[in-house]
Amino acid sequence: MRSWKLAKMSMVFAPRLAESAPTSHVGASWSPYDNNGGTCVAIAGADYCVIAADTRMSTGFSILTRDYSKIHHITEKCVLASSGFQADVRSLQKNLDARHQIYQHQHSKQMSCPAMAQLLSNTLYYKRFFPYYSFNVLGGLDNEGKGCVYTYDAVGSYERSGYSSQGSGQTLIMPVLDNQLKSASPLVLPPRESSTPLTESEAVDLIKDTFASAAERDIYTGDGVEIVIINKEGIRRETMALKRD
């Protein structure tokens, strides 16, 4: 009897055991984003800049098209290559084009590459809480005619460097570029040149080889690579076929 009463009391006073850990967040039934894959690379030289991107657009395990350009010419001296969600990339490109047009009306000249770099960063951060799913590499010639490459994350953090890669093949290509180009860290003092000592044709050769290697191991990279070379003569475009499997 007594034991039964005690049991009853303990039931009243004993704290109710905490509910098992709060149920995990029910996943959204729909995502506004998709990843169309692809890889972008850029290398800056003393008086040139090479920007390249593969031409495959995919979704899930399927290929949407083998012939899609991820490269956009914003100004005469500045080219943007973006991988990620191509609908957001297209929207971002149109946004930058519009802003550039306004700049040209107001200042009677084209935007310089460093200026466009800053504009791109601000545009991306503006949508900090619903980002452009776009991984960008901006390449061109700066005001002194030297090659410059700017690399971004999805929300606008950017840095000028001698070379960069973004996209699904980034982790495959970056170590090879680090090994072959050995650009100084921006933290090294005194500050060293951030451009790389390869000639233009050597840089193009390296890019073709790195894309061929990335296409071997990354399923989202392949079909073809589009290479844009900017130097004081102007802008030139080359293409090369990649594995289609």
Partner 1 sequence: MTKSSVIQVPPKGGFSFDLSRRNAMLQQQGAKLPKYRKTGTTIVGLVYKDGVILGADTRATEGEIVCDKNCEKIHYLAPNIYCCGAGTAADTENVTDMVSSQLALHRYATGRDSRVVTALTMIKTHLFRYQGHVSAALVLGGVDVTGPHLHAIYPHGSTDTLPFATMGSGSLAAMSVFESRYKENLTREEGMEIVSAAICAGIFNDLGSGSNVDLCIITKEGKEYLRNYQQPNPRSYTRSKGYDFMNGYTAVLSTQIRQLRQHVQVLEGDRMDEE
Between 102 and 241, CB nearer to partner 1: 241
For 131-180, give the DSSP string. ---EEEEEEEE-TTS-EEEEEE-TT--EEEESEEEEETTHHHHHHHHHHH
Between 156 and 169, CB nearer to partner 1: 169
Q: Is 240 in the site for partner 1 (CB under 8 A)?
A: yes
Type of residue at 90: R
Between 21 and 191, CB nearer to partner 1: 21
Query: Chain-centre distance of CA 165, in angstroms?
Result: 7
CB of 219 to partner 1, least distance (A): 4
Secondary structure class of 228 (helix, strand, coil): strand
Q: Is 58 in the site for partner 1 (CB under 8 A)?
A: yes
DSSP-derived secondary structure letter, 183: P
Contact 89, 132 (CB under 8 A): yes
Query: Chain-centre distance of CA 38, in angstroms?
Result: 10
- 237 vs 225: CA distance, rounded Å: 11
Q: Is 174 in the site for partner 1 (CB under 8 A)?
A: no
- 226 vs 79: CA distance, rounded Å: 13
Task: Find the part of the chain contacting partner 1 (CB under 8 A) among 40-48, 152-160, 203-211, 229-237.
Answer: 203-211
Task: Find the part of the chain contacting partner 1 (CB under 8 A) among 26-34, 60-68, 75-83, 135-143.
Answer: 60-68
Q: Is 62 in the site for partner 1 (CB under 8 A)?
A: yes
Between 123 and 180, CB nearer to partner 1: 180
Among 218, 227, 228, 229, the residue binding partner 1 under the rule CB under 8 A is 218
The site for partner 1 (CB under 8 A) is made up of 3-4, 21, 24, 58, 61-63, 168, 172, 180, 202, 205-206, 208-209, 211-212, 215-220, 240-245
